[in-house]
Amino acid sequence: SSNNLQGYAPICLGLEDFYIRRLYLRIQDCFGRPIASAPDAWFDVVERYSNDNNKTLIRTSNVKRCLNLGSYNYLGFAAADEYCTPRVIESLKKYSPSTCSSRVDAGTTALHNELEKCVADFVGKPAAIVFGMGYVTNSAILPVLIGKGGLIISDSLNHNSIVNGARGSGATIRVFQHNTPSHLEEVLREQIADGQPRTHRPWKKIIVIVEGIYSMEGELCKLPEIIAICKKYKAYTYLDEAHSIGAVGKSGRGVCELLGVDTADVDIMMGTFTKSFGSCGGYIAGSKELIQYLKYTCPAHLYATSISPPAAEQIISAIKVILGEDGSNRGAQKLARIRENSNFFRSELIKMGFEVLGDNDSPVMPIMLYNPAKIPAFSRECLRQNVAVVTVAFPATPLLLARARICISASHTKEDLIKALEVISQVGDLVGIKYFPAEPNKH
């Protein structure tokens, strides 16, 4: 325990259930609380606290205005927007919140068709199909793409929706070390030929699954190397761009644009609308044949209610803003801002002595805490100073690799970021997570 951590019970790993439960309670307590306003750069968090020094769980609530470093609002579309919002309201009046039907029954509106065309054009593929939820896009599509007799080779840190989809497919699953092309090649060699010449491939189909930006690491995918290996071994590539589409690349077109990859080299492009577009849902983009096949066979297309029309309109409008088709240059400004903000924030944190994961240009910035016992103090101290930060621990990360996961937005101003840096710096000293010497005269 430390004198600095006033008010925080020391929590040691391996202690009784009571402590573990208490730890989880606190983790949830830090950010799992309701939010009372749009998740923009600042938002209202409903704060609950006990009046009797946490002896009971009876809590009082009040609403606290906080700087939001937690939402995936990369381009700032999560708040009212002068172009998107009036159109979303119109679509709500015209189509209602729900189509109350699946795409193949009565659930396809003109907006749905427009959205699919718009997404395909934006990501640079001939066709696209959209779903009401990003999570479902992965978990429902993979079982349609591959099954028994097929092989999925998945990055070890892929998102749970991918893991679930892969498991549900019945294909054999192999995992390669996170973002390590050489290990991917090792796994492929072993699975295809084991070093021996063969007359036939033992797998009906091989799909290699990676993410554009890894959501717990903030790291960019080593896509060019991975594609080269997939081509060499004739495996399909499946790229989840949940955190990269809209957020990186000169015109927001994701990691392919950022890393100079031809989208023709990625067979299946997946993404969600919940991060950069301020909406909900997900997409798969690919060849016309692939998308047609999915439209005929995917249960989540055939049997689930289609994406909500106002959500579809939000995405279409946000893409128009990003591309400057709204007649303004706000899209270009947002893209410039997310990049500047991310790179500024990352470099300042590193200068202060924090260990920050991830790459330049990535708006996702994990600050390593390591010991999960540091989580409650870190997030509650930040929150006390009106900065809301998401902390992540086991089972979302390995047990001793707990972290605070910062998400930067184009809607953060320089003043917001400087305030956040000041608070994080103070809390970092308090909690003892500056693992490297700070540069002199900085914060």
Q: Is the Cβ of residue 84 or residue 427 nearer to ligand PMP in the bound state?
A: 84
Q: Reply yes or no: is the peptide bond before residue 372 cis, omega within 30 of 0.
A: no
Q: Does 217 bind ligand PMP (CB under 6 A)?
A: no
**Shortest approach of ligand PMP to residue 154 CB, angstroms?**
12
**Shortest approach of ligand PMP to residue 138 CB, angstroms?**
6
Q: Does 215 bind ligand PMP (CB under 6 A)?
A: yes
- Mark the segment that binds ligand PMP (CB under 6 A) among 51-59, 117-125, 132-140, 180-188: 132-140
**Shortest approach of ligand PMP to residue 167 CB, angstroms?**
15
Q: Does 219 bind ligand PMP (CB under 6 A)?
A: no
Q: Which two tokens stand for residue 189?
A: 């060699």
**Shortest approach of ligand PMP to residue 236 CB, angstroms?**
18
Distance, CA of 163 to CA of 184 (rounded, Å): 17
Distance, CA of 159 to CA of 172 (rounded, Å): 18
**Shortest approach of ligand PMP to residue 239 CB, angstroms?**
10
Q: Which two tokens stand for residue 71?
A: 């939402």
- Mark the segment that binds ligand PMP (CB under 6 A) among 127-135, 261-269, 320-328, 331-339: 127-135
Question: Of residues 43, 74, 135, 354, which one binds ligand PMP by CB under 6 A?
Answer: 135
**Shortest approach of ligand PMP to residue 274 CB, angstroms?**
3
User: Which of these, 104, 91, 89, 112, lies nearest to 307 by C-alpha position?
Assistant: 112
Q: Is the Cβ of residue 239 or residue 321 nearer to ligand PMP in the bound state?
A: 239
DSSP 148-159: TT-EEEEETT--
User: Which of these, 165, 206, 168, lies nearest to 189 by C-alpha position?
Assistant: 206
Element (H, E) at 183: helix 181-192
Distance, CA of 66 to CA of 89 (rounded, Å): 27
Q: Is the Cβ of residue 213 or residue 424 nearer to ligand PMP in the bound state?
A: 213
CB 188 within 8 A of CB 231: no
End-to-end CA distance of the chain: 26
- Mark the segment that binds ligand PMP (CB under 6 A) among 133-141, 168-176, 195-203, 225-233: 133-141
Distance between alpha carbon 384 and the CA centroid of its chain, in Å?
26
In terms of Cβ atoms closer than 10 Å to its own Cβ (0-12, 13-18, 19+), residue 301 is buried
- Mark the segment that binds ligand PMP (CB under 6 A) among 117-125, 128-136, 336-344, 404-412: 128-136
**Number of other CB atoms surrounding residue 74 within 10 Å:** 31
**Shortest approach of ligand PMP to residue 243 CB, angstroms?**
6
| Three-state DSSP state, 269 | strand
Q: Does 138 bind ligand PMP (CB under 6 A)?
A: yes
Distance, CA of 315 to CA of 50 (rounded, Å): 41
Residue 356 is given by DSSP the state B
Question: Of residues 67, 88, 133, 421, which one binds ligand PMP by CB under 6 A?
Answer: 133
**Shortest approach of ligand PMP to residue 137 CB, angstroms?**
7
Distance, CA of 376 to CA of 357 (rounded, Å): 20
Distance, CA of 130 to CA of 153 (rounded, Å): 24
- Using CB under 6 A as the binding criterion, the count of chain residues that bind ligand PMP stands at 14
Question: Of residues 154, 161, 237, 391, which one binds ligand PMP by CB under 6 A?
Answer: 161
| Three-state DSSP state, 366 | strand
Q: Is the Cβ of residue 230 or residue 284 nearer to ligand PMP in the bound state?
A: 284
**Shortest approach of ligand PMP to residue 434 CB, angstroms?**
28
Residues numbered 250-309 forming contacts with ligand PMP, rule: CB under 6 A: 272, 274, 282
**Shortest approach of ligand PMP to residue 242 CB, angstroms?**
3
Residues numbered 222-251 forming contacts with ligand PMP, rule: CB under 6 A: 240, 242-243
CB 270 within 8 A of CB 138: yes
Provide the residue type at 236 as one letter: Y
Q: Is the Cβ of residue 364 or residue 427 nearer to ligand PMP in the bound state?
A: 364
* Closest residue by beta carbon to ligand PMP: 134
Distance between alpha carbon 167 and the CA centroid of its chain, in Å?
21
Q: Does 365 bind ligand PMP (CB under 6 A)?
A: no
Q: Is the Cβ of residue 318 or residue 377 nearer to ligand PMP in the bound state?
A: 318
**Number of other CB atoms surrounding residue 289 within 10 Å:** 10
Question: Of residues 211, 313, 348, 361, which one binds ligand PMP by CB under 6 A?
Answer: 211
Q: Does 159 bind ligand PMP (CB under 6 A)?
A: yes
**Shortest approach of ligand PMP to residue 317 CB, angstroms?**
18
Q: At what angle do helices 330-352 and 414-431 cross, to 10 degrees?
A: 20
User: Which residues sit at the interface with ligand PMP, rule CB under 6 A?
Assistant: 133-135, 138, 159, 161, 211, 215, 240, 242-243, 272, 274, 282
